[in-house]
C-alpha cells in the first residue's frame, strides 16, 4: 500500500484579477500559507506557466520548481483541460468553445484542433522536463449531443465516433509515452468519456494504450447517480490522478439528473465545498490507499454557495485529515508463529 500525497490544490478556479490571485508567486504563497503541499497548474494561464517554454527549456522548468520548492510546494501535475476539449469539438459547439482558443485560430475549427494538439504535445514534454509522471486533460466530444438521442443514433455512429477520437488522441498518447507521462482523462459529463463504459470503449479504440489513464473525481459521478466507490474497484489500476471535490444530488418531483436548465444553485445536482456535500471521502481514501494509489489528493473547488477562499481554507485540513498513513505491518503480526512448512503441514493434518 501507499500513503497518498497531499494536500494539494488546483489553481484554475482561484486565479483572478486581484492580488494575491493574479500571479503565480502570489497565489502559491497564499496556498502554502493555507497548508497545501502541492499545486496543480492550469497550463492555459500564461500567468502560471509558459507551456511552450516549459517544453523547450529544462532550465526554465528547474527555475520554476525551485521557486515553488522555496515555499514548500511541489508541482503535482499540469492541466490541459481547455486545450484537450478542443482536440475534438462537434460543430454544434464551435461558437462556445472558440472562447477556449487564442484569437489566431477562432472561427477556424481545423486550425483550432491543430493548435490544441500542439498544446498537448508541449504539455507532454513540459511534464517530462518538470519531472512529473501524470497529466490532466479532457477528451473532447464528438458525440455528446447524441447522449440521450432523439431521433435515435444512426447505426455505427458511436463506433465511428470512438474510432475518430482514437485517431486524434493516439499520436498524443504516443508522445506522452515517449516522455514517460500518464495522460489522465477527467471523466466528465460533456465529454465523450463521461463514465466507465464510455472510457472502456475509448480504451478499446486506442488498443489499450498504457498511457490512456484516469483522473478520478467522484463529484461527476454523484451527479450521474453512478456508484463512485465501485468505480474505484473497477478502474483502480488506471487511476493516476485524484480531484477531491464534493457534490450533492437531491432529485425532486420536478427535476433530476438533467437539472431543468436551472442555474447551479437551483439544480438537483450541484458541486459543493469539501464536507458540505454527500461524497463519502473516508471510503474513497480507504479504497485508493488499499489499491496503492501513488499520486496526489488535489482539491478542485467548485461550489455554488460558499466563498472560494473559505473553501480553500477548509480544504487543506479536510484533505490532510483524510489521508491515511499506509501501514507497514499486519495488525495481528504480534500473534504470528513465523513461517514453518512442517508446522503448517501438521496444522493441515498432512
**Is 330 in contact with 39 (CB distance < 8 Å)?**
no
Taking 60 as the threshold, does the pLDDT of residue 129 lie above it? yes
Report residue 328's pLDDT band, with 50, 70 and 90 as the boundaries: confident
Average pLDDT over residues 328-335: 64
Whole-number Å distance between alpha carbons of 53 and 64: 11
Which DSSP symbol is given to 164?
H
What is the mean pLDDT of the segment spanning 66-83? 98
For the chain, give the mean pLDDT. Answer: 96
* Count of C-beta atoms within a 10 Å radius of residue 70: 10
The x, y and z cell numbers of residue 12, run together, are 484554475
Q: What is the pLDDT of residues 253-286, one digit of tens each?
A: 999 999 999 999 999 999 999 999 999 999 999 9
The residues, ordered by sequence, that sit 6+ positions from 26 with a Cβ below 8 Å of its Cβ are 19, 20
Could you tell me if 187 and 214 are in contact, meaning their C-beta atoms sit under 8 angstroms apart? yes
Among 150-159, 228-237, 337-346, the range scoring the smallest mean pLDDT is 337-346
Q: Which residue ranges form the domains of the chain, and what is each CATH number?
A: 5-347 (3.20.20.150)
d(CA 327, CA 307): 37
Instruction: Specify which residues 39 forms β-bridges with.
Output: 9, 75
The Cβ of residue 85 has, within 10 Å, a number of other Cβ atoms equal to 22
Amino acid at each position: 500500500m501507499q500513503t497518498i500525497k497531499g494536500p494539494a490544490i488546483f489553481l484554475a478556479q482561484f486565479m483572478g484579477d486581484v492580488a494575491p490571485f493574479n500571479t503565480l508567486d502570489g497565489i502559491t504563497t497564499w496556498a502554502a500559507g493555507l497548508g497545501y503541499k502541492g499545486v496543480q497548474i492550469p497550463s492555459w494561464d500564461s500567468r502560471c506557466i509558459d507551456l511552450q517554454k516549459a517544453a523547450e527549456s529544462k532550465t526554465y522548468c528547474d527555475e520554476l520548481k525551485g521557486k515553488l520548492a522555496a515555499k514548500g510546494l511541489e508541482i503535482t501535475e499540469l492541466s490541459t483541460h481547455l486545450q484537450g476539449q478542443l482536440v475534438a469539438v462537434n460543430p454544434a459547439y464551435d461558437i462556445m468553445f472558440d472562447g477556449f482558443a487564442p484569437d489566431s485560430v477562432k472561427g477556424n475549427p481545423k486550425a483550432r484542433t491543430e493548435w490544441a494538439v500542439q498544446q498537448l504535445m508541449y504539455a507532454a514534454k513540459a511534464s517530462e522536463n518538470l519531472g512529473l509522471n501524470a497529466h490532466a486533460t479532457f477528451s473532447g466530444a464528438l458525440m455528446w449531443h447524441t447522449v440521450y438521442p432523439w431521433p435515435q443514433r444512426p447505426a455505427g455512429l458511436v463506433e465511428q465516433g470512438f474510432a475518430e477520437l482514437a485517431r486524434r488522441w493516439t499520436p498524443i498518447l504516443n508522445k506522452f509515452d515517449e516522455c514517460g507521462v500518464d495522460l489522465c482523462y477527467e471523466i466528465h459529463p460533456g465529454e465523450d468519456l463521461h463514465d466507465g463504459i464510455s472510457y472502456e470503449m475509448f480504451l478499446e479504440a486506442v488498443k489499450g494504450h498504457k498511457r490512456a489513464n484516469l483522473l478520478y473525481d467522484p463529484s461527476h459521478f454523484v451527479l450521474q447517480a453512478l456508484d463512485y466507490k465501485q468505480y474505484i474497484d473497477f478502474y483502480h489500476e488506471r487511476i493516476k490522478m485524484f480531484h477531491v471535490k464534493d457534490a450533492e444530488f437531491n432529485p425532486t418531483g420536478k427535476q433530476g439528473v438533467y437539472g431543468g436548465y436551472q442555474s447551479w444553485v437551483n439544480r438537483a445536482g450541484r458541486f459543493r465545498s469539501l464536507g458540505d456535500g454527500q461524497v463519502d471521502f473516508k471510503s474513497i481514501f480507504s479504497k485508493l490507499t488499499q489499491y496503492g494509489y501513488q499520486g496526489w489528493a488535489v482539491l478542485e473547488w467548485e461550489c455554488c454557495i460558499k466563498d472560494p477562499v473559505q473553501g480553500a481554507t477548509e480544504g487543506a485540513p479536510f484533505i490532510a485529515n483524510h489521508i491515511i498513513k499506509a501501514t507497514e505491518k499486519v495488525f495481528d503480526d504480534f500473534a504470528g508463529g513465523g513461517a514453518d512448512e512442517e508446522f503448517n503441514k501438521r496444522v493441515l493434518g498432512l
